[in-house]
């Protein structure tokens, strides 16, 4: 009987079970890999989104400024810059803005665009700081204020076609600035021009005959201007207060020039009703745009509130100062400070090296130097006045010939260096005339380092009556006011930096202050001669309007804990 053995069926079943199991495991593993990859993508996307939107760009007293807020401000600033540039170019094409004004404003906007990131972050920081400061100054902002600011931004301001006659006082030969007779002569010429205009002469005729400005070639036509034109502010104010076709009175500018103006055409302000639509077309949320405008309004109102306190009558002090500017070589071994009077061949230092030594111009320069040397030996106090009047170095007209610290290792003319670094020189010593590549020098030693030690010596001598403050300023101060004994006029609160203001108002009236050293600036001595309660004059008002708020705000802002993303703070576009 043949036996039959069947193949165990269980083996085949187990084989297929193993394959199924392997397939299932592979599928699970593949699925897990996909899930893991997707999870990594989600994590990466979330991290990227967080970094771009929720990560801090900065903070103020623990309040976070997110990257999303920052990105929105950047977009808003870009739109505002583009919008302003388009407006300027439109006015330029229409001949309704002076080319000089257009170029200056476009250049300023380009600079803002290059610093877009840092500006945007600082605007957001300032927004939080000023929001905290505003209540204490009684500053509130309403929706109506923001509406008004939006309308202002959409408005092309009033334009006036202006004409100008300008008469600049002549500077007498050898002087550094016009004297009183020269100013009186210029004022009289401007007054005569005004009388001629009122008498019926045409503006063009008078301007071509009298005006010292380059616009005289066009009969005084300076084109269209707005209230922000880069002209003397008092003159612009007079133009916008003037009646059309009626000349202004004579206006003395901050630059000392006397002007008469006239307006022949007035273009009314124009409001761009499409501004909001343009904002939305750029993908900017109008609420975000209004939030940016609100920050602008807070700043403007805060500025007005602070400025009002400084413009009110208050204590002012009559001040003279001695200022010795920080020099890069002051700390070097053997450094010395001198002043000089330069006589160059043919009066031209830049061309002196090209003049042959046998040329009579060299002998003439030497003769002048030796004559001055003899004069100063008899009366050294004349040094400053002679330097301002006679020196062929242009800077001497305002510096009185004072030079910064020089050290032996500095690259200066060898003959000049040999003279000033000779051993045994003493402060005040007058040196024999020296010939350099630039001409003949009459040199006086001033002092060695440091300026602080020298300031203390000056204070001691002035307090003891051995020296007047006026003479000390004339012979030591690096400011242009040195020629007038250092007189800087009346000083009120908010005009100067915090350090200088504190030193001036701490000094006893009639006495010299302690020396004040401001790093990277210089060393100061102040003399307060009087104190009165006064309202700011026109010059002080202009200074306060330009700097009082920024000085006050910088001090307030320094009291806040502020952080900035380094990558943003240092970035430029």
One domain for residues 291 and 150 = yes
Give strand pairing partners of 323.
524
* Among 464, 473, 555, 558, CA closest to 511: 464
Cβ atoms of residues 156 and 83 within 8 Å = no
Q: With respect to residue 5, please indicate whether it lies within any of the assigned structural domains.
A: no
Provide the domain limits for residue 181. 159-268
User: Nearest CA to 225 among 252, 271, 263, 272?
Assistant: 263
CA distances, 63 to each of 139, 557, 564 (Å): 21, 15, 12
Q: What is the pLDDT along the chain (573 residues), one digit of tens a residue?
A: 444 444 454 454 455 566 677 777 777 777 777 777 766 665 655 445 445 555 899 999 999 999 999 999 999 999 999 999 999 999 999 999 999 999 999 999 999 999 999 999 999 999 999 999 999 999 999 999 999 999 999 999 999 999 999 999 998 876 668 888 999 999 999 999 999 999 999 999 999 999 999 999 999 999 999 999 999 999 999 999 999 999 999 999 989 999 999 999 999 999 999 999 999 999 999 999 999 999 999 999 999 999 999 999 999 999 999 999 999 999 999 999 999 999 999 999 999 999 999 999 999 999 999 999 999 999 999 999 999 999 999 999 889 999 999 999 999 999 999 999 999 999 999 999 999 999 999 999 999 999 999 999 999 999 999 999 999 999 999 988 999 999 999 999 998 988 999 999 999 999 999 999 999 999 999 999 999 999 999 888 988 998 899 999 999 999 999 999 999 887 544
Question: Pick from 423, 447, 471: which residue ends a domain?
Answer: 447
Specify whether 60 is located in the same domain as 79.
yes
d(CA 222, CA 211): 12
Residues sharing a CB contact under 8 Å with residue 262, sequence separation 6 or more, in sequence order = 162, 163, 197, 203, 242, 245, 246, 247, 248
38 assigned to some structural domain: no
Same domain, 351 and 283: no
Same domain membership, residue 306 and residue 326: no
Domains of the chain: total: 4
**pTM of this prediction?**
0.71
Answer yes or no: do 256 and 289 share one domain. Answer: no
DSSP 29-64: HHHHHHHHHHHHHHHHHHHHHIIIIISEEEEETTEE
* 559/517 same-domain check: no
| 40 within domain boundaries | no
Beta carbons of 256 and 178 less than 8 angstroms apart: yes
Taking Cα atoms as reference points, which of 339, 373, 279 lies closest to residue 78?
A: 279
């Amino acid at each position: 009987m043949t036996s039959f053995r069947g193949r165990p069926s269980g083996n085949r079943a187990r084989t297929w079970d193993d394959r199924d199991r392997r397939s299932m495991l592979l599928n699970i593993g593949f699925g897990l890999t996909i899930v893991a990859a997707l999870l990594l993508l989600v994590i990466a996307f979330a991290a990227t989104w967080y970094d771009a939107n929720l990560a801090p760009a900065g903070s103020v007293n623990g309040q976070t400024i997110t990257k999303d807020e920052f990105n929105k401000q950047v977009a808003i600033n870009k739109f505002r810059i583009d919008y302003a540039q388009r407006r300027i170019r439109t006015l330029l094409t229409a001949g309704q803005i002076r080319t000089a004004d257009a170029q200056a404003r476009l250049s300023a906007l380009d600079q803002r665009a290059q610093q877009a990131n840092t500006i945007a972050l600082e605007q957001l920081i300032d927004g939080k700081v000023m929001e905290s400061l505003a209540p204490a100054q009684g500053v509130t902002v309403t929706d109506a204020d923001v509406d008004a600011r939006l309308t202002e931004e959409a408005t092309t301001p009033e334009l006036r076609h202006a004409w100008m006659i300008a008469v600049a006082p002549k500077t007498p030969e050898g002087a550094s600035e016009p004297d009183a007779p020269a100013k009186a002569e210029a004022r009289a010429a401007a007054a005569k021009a005004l009388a001629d205009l009122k008498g019926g002469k045409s503006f063009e005729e008078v301007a071509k005959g009298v005006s010292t400005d380059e616009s005289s070639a066009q009969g005084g036509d300076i084109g269209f201007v707005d209230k922000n034109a880069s002209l003397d502010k008092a003159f612009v104010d007079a133009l916008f207060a003037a009646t059309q076709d009626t000349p202004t009175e004579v206006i003395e500018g901050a630059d000392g020039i006397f002007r008469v103006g006239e307006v022949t055409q007035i273009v009314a302000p124009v409001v761009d009703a499409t501004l909001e639509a343009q904002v939305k077309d750029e993908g900017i949320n109008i609420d975000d745009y209004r939030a940016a405008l609100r920050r602008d309004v807070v700043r403007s109102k805060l500025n007005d509130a602070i400025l009002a306190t400084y413009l009110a009558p208050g204590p002012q002090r009559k001040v003279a100062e001695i200022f010795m500017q920080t020099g890069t070589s002051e700390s070097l071994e053997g450094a010395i400070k001198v002043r000089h009077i330069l006589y160059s061949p043919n009066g031209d230092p830049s061309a002196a090296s090209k003049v042959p030594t046998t040329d009579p111009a060299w002998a003439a320069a030497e003769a002048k130097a030796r004559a001055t040397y003899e004069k100063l030996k008899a009366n050294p106090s004349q040094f400053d006045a002679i330097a301002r009047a006679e020196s062929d170095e242009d800077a001497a007209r305002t510096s009185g010939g004072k030079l910064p610290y020089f050290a032996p290792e500095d690259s200066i003319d060898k003959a000049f260096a040999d003279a000033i670094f000779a051993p045994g020189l003493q402060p005040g010593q007058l040196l024999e005339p020296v010939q350099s590549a630039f001409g003949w020098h009459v040199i006086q030693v001033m002092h060695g380092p440091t300026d602080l030690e020298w300031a203390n010596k000056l204070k001691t001598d002035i307090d003891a009556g051995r020296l007047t403050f006026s003479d000390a300023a004339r012979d030591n101060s690096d400011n242009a006011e040195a020629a007038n004994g250092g007189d800087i006029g009346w000083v009120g609160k908010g005009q100067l930096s915090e350090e200088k203001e504190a030193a001036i108002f701490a000094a006893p009236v009639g006495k010299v202050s302690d020396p004040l050293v401001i790093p990277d600036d210089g060393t100061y001595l102040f003399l307060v001669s009087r104190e009165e309660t006064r309202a700011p004059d026109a010059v002080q008002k202009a200074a306060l309007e330009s700097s009082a708020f920024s000085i006050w705000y910088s001090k307030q802002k320094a009291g806040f804990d502020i952080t900035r993303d380094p990558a943003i703070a240092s970035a430029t576009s």
